[in-house]
Structure 1
Amino acid sequence: MVKTREEKDLLGTKQIPADMLWGIHTARAVENFPISNQKINHELIKAYGEVKLACAQTNSQLAYWKDPEKTSAIGQACSELAQGLLKEYIVVDALQGGAGTSTNMNVNEVIANRALQILGEEPGNYDLISPLDDINLHQSTNDTYPTAFKVAAIRLLRELEQQVLALQEAFQQKEKEFAHIVKIGRTQLQDAVLTTLGREMSAYAEAFNRDRWRIYKCEERLRVVNLGGTAIGTGLGAPKKFIFQVVDKLRENTNIGLARSENLIDNTQNADVFVEVSGILKACATNLLKISNDLRFMSSGPDAGLGEISLPEMQAGSSIMPGKVNPVIPEAVAQAAIKVMANDQAIAQACSAGNLELNQFMPLIADSLLESLTLLSNASKIFSEKCVSGLIANEEICKQQVENSTASITALIPKIGYKKASEVAALSKSKKITIRESVLLLKIMTASEFEELITPEQVCRLGN
């Protein structure tokens, strides 16, 4: 028989494993919400610990607790949660009713019971340290949950920015390596005009440069918090000194430029800022999807496709086709990008579906946005390290395609005109010879003159 303790709430009593750090509110939430089978994002758990620590420190400074040992134990328990040491006890489902109340109560109970352990007491002795009267003192789910969410999001944004920067730099390195390689540029998947492989890489680098800057600016959108606003932003149940001091303490602890909202009611009920940030993440996902697909297309073959580049070989590609190697990294990156786009739609719907003074769908918003940040960060990392950094250009294939494609004719027009260029194209097609061979056969220009018109410098020159 498992030893238990009895806990009570307004609905009745419940038996809880005696040494468990969570309590009756968590137990009911676990029973009520077997929905996603996904745990709460670990960054949100750690950020919640930081929020609770700032609240505890502020309450201590305002002398709401007289016992220094109790105060110290609560602070230590909050710190342990912030360090991720207690995350195994945060067991409620990521998706839950109540705007995050189950998460807040799970956190409150774990901190209270851990503090009791630190004092040498048994879990459940809430007369000494209460999840509600002590750990939740001067707080509400409705201000602690979104504040912890924003802290977690900012931390993940900073990580994402660094990964996107690394991806940008990887493409910039390839821009330098491939600057001399002339190749076919394509529009509508058809041969168009000449370009260089380096210029293609530079365009990818520039796209991620924009993403990096947009991601950096997102922190400004998230740093305004409603901590101290309690239930609906009026600060009900919290003293004015607490309201004015608690965000300062959280800013000091986290080293994040957090600021208390000038309109706590607005910041409590309206979630449009998360839609804005998610839109920026969707833009990054768009670039990841487009560029990962470009690399797959350019590396297609290797014998019967474009074959302009070779991607690093990461694993065997088939259980039935010997020798086949698939572009698994770009494929994985593409799937992460698609999931981020799907999350963006969920975030937009959830943010718009809030009612009156509160958005009840905050758990879905938080889970989706934090997942998107994690997906983009991880996808950017593997894309950079396992794909882009190891790209190899197949120079000979690019050269053959330039000589064989009618795309190279466009480069000749400034010297020979459109009419003669058309004659070159017709001869090449009828005799099944290269453009270079056609030019020489028609004696329109010499071999050296032809080569001069398709050099990297000539191809990349802005204008004629």
Structure 2
Amino acid sequence: MVNTREESDFIGKKQIPADALWGIHTARAVENFPISGQKVHPALIKAYGDVKLACAQTNSALGFWEDNTKAEAIEKAAFEMSQGLLNEHILVDAMQGGAGTSTNMNVNEVLANRALQIMDKALGDYQLVSPLDDINLHQSTNDTYPTALKVAAIRLLRELEQNLLNLQEAFQQKEKEFAHIVKIGRTQLQDAVLTTLGREMSAYAEALNRDRWRIYKCEERLRVINLSGTAIGTGLGAPKQFIFRVVDKLRENTNIGLARSENLIDGTQNVDVFVEVSGILKACATNLLKISNDLRLLSSGPHAGFGEINLPQLQAGSSIMPGKVNPVIPEAVAQSAIKVMGNDQIVAQACSTGNLELNQFMPLIAHSFLESIDLLKNASKLFNEKCVSGISANEKVCRTHVNNSTATITALVPAVGYARCSEIIKLVENNGLSIKEAALKSGHLTAEEYDNLVTPEAVCRLGN
């Protein structure tokens, strides 16, 4: 037999495991929302701990609890949650009705019971520490949930920015390493003009630099919060001193430049900032998808494809084809990027379908938004460490392509003219010669002149 305790709410009574830190509201939510099988994001739980800690500290400083022992226990419990020590007790599904009320109540119950534990009191003794009257004092789901989401997002975005910086630097290293390698540049997947492998890598680095800067600026967009607005942004039930002080305390605790929204009504009902930042995440995803597909093309083969670069070999690629090695990291990065693009559409639709004073779809917004940051954060780290940093160039293949491709002819036009270049192409086609062999046979260029026209410096020079 499992020992239980009885708890009650507006709907009725329910038996709860005696040693559970959660209570009746959590139990009902677990029963009502067996949807995704995915828990609330750990970063959101930790951020919720920060929010509850700031609220508890503010309420304590304002003298709303005469019992210092209770106040200290609540603060300690909230601090533990902010450190990720109580994550296992947040049981509700990430997908839930009620604009996040189930998450907030799960948090409230866990903190109340953890405070009771700290005080060496019986779990469920809500006359001493109440999930609603104490832990949720001067708060609502509608201001604590979006605030916790923004704190969690800012922290994850900081990690993403660092990972993108590392990936950018990895491409910059390859830019230097491959600066001397002349190769065929392609447009519409057809041979176009000469470039260098280093310049190709530099373009990837520059794209990631833009992503890193845009993501850095996202913190400015997310730092405005509606904490203290309570239900709809009017601050109903919260004293003025709490409203004026609680955001300052949260800013101090988190070391994030948080600011209270000047219009708490707007800050509660409108969540378009998540659409804006999600769009920036989508932009990053498009770059990662493009780069990963380019690397797959450039490494294709290895004997019947482009074969101009070699990716690190990580695992056997086939259960039937011996010796086949697939570009698994770029493939994983590409799939992560596609998922982020899908999440962006989810976030946009969920944010646009809020009604009147509140967006009821905050759980979906939070789940999709934080998942996108996680996917980009993890994919960019993986891309750097298991792929880009280990890329090597196949110089022989690049040189062969240059010597055999009609794209090289364009580099000769400034020296001998369009008409003579056309003659050289005919020699190539009619005699099976390489571009260099045909150019020398035509008598229009010497070997030294030809070589000077296809050096890394020549093909990268801005203008003629």
List per-residue Cα deviations over 1:28-73 (Å, max 9, x = no partner): 0001111111111000000000000000000000000011111111
Please give the alpha-carbon distance, in whole angstroms, between the structure 2 residues aligned to 1:275 and 1:395: 45
Please give the alpha-carbon distance, in whole angstroms, between the structure 2 residues aligned to 1:346 and 1:443: 64
Please give the alpha-carbon distance, in whole angstroms, between the structure 2 residues aligned to 1:133 and 1:435: 83
Unaligned runs of 5+ in 1: none
Q: Which residue of 1 aligns with 2:315?
A: 315
Q: Which residue of 2 aligns with 1:136?
A: 136
* TM-score in terms of structure 1 length: 1.00
Whether the aligned pair in 2 keeps the contact of 1:19 and 1:122 (CA below 8 Å) is no
Please give the alpha-carbon distance, in whole angstroms, between the structure 1 residues aligned to 2:329 and 2:460: 30
* Residues 53-452 of structure 1 mapped to structure 2, 5 A cutoff: 53-452=53-452
Please give the alpha-carbon distance, in whole angstroms, between the structure 2 residues aligned to 1:432 and 1:92: 70
Please give the alpha-carbon distance, in whole angstroms, between the structure 2 residues aligned to 1:12 and 1:346: 36
Please give the alpha-carbon distance, in whole angstroms, between the structure 2 residues aligned to 1:175 and 1:66: 65
Whether the aligned pair in 2 keeps the contact of 1:175 and 1:201 (CA below 8 Å) is yes
Measured on the aligned residues, the alpha-carbon RMSD in Å equals 0.5
Please give the alpha-carbon distance, in whole angstroms, between the structure 1 residues aligned to 2:398 and 2:28: 64
Please give the alpha-carbon distance, in whole angstroms, between the structure 1 residues aligned to 2:387 and 2:428: 37
Letter paired with 1:460? C
Whether the aligned pair in 2 keeps the contact of 1:194 and 1:408 (CA below 8 Å) is yes
List per-residue Cα deviations over 1:306-350 (Å, max 9, x = no partner): 000000011111111111111000000001000000000000000
Please give the alpha-carbon distance, in whole angstroms, between the structure 1 residues aligned to 2:238 and 2:129: 19
Q: Which residue of 2 aligns with 1:8?
A: 8
List per-residue Cα deviations over 1:270-326 (Å, max 9, x = no partner): 011000000000000000000000000000000110000000011111111111111
Whether the aligned pair in 2 keeps the contact of 1:81 and 1:87 (CA below 8 Å) is yes
Say how many residue pairs are matched.
464
Shift of 1:389: 0.4
Q: Residue 137 of structure 1: SS of its match in structure 2?
A: coil
Q: Residue 321 of structure 1: SS of its match in structure 2?
A: coil
Whether the aligned pair in 2 keeps the contact of 1:194 and 1:407 (CA below 8 Å) is yes
Shift of 1:403: 0.2
Shift of 1:430: 2.1
Whether the aligned pair in 2 keeps the contact of 1:104 and 1:145 (CA below 8 Å) is yes
Letter paired with 1:231? A
Please give the alpha-carbon distance, in whole angstroms, between the structure 2 residues aligned to 1:122 and 1:29: 23
Whether the aligned pair in 2 keeps the contact of 1:48 and 1:144 (CA below 8 Å) is yes
Please give the alpha-carbon distance, in whole angstroms, between the structure 1 residues aligned to 2:349 and 2:433: 58
Please give the alpha-carbon distance, in whole angstroms, between the structure 1 residues aligned to 2:72 and 2:302: 64
Structure 1 stretches of at least 4 aligned residues deviating more than 3 Å after TM superposition: none
Q: Residue 372 of structure 2: SS of its match in structure 1?
A: helix
Please give the alpha-carbon distance, in whole angstroms, between the structure 1 residues aligned to 2:14 and 2:379: 44
* 2:26 maps to 1:39: no
Letter paired with 1:158? R
List per-residue Cα deviations over 1:384-416 (Å, max 9, x = no partner): 111000000000110000000000000000011
Please give the alpha-carbon distance, in whole angstroms, between the structure 2 residues aligned to 1:352 and 1:430: 64
* TM-score in terms of structure 2 length: 1.00
Letter paired with 1:88? E
Please give the alpha-carbon distance, in whole angstroms, between the structure 2 residues aligned to 1:210 and 1:443: 48
Q: Residue 193 of structure 1: SS of its match in structure 2?
A: strand
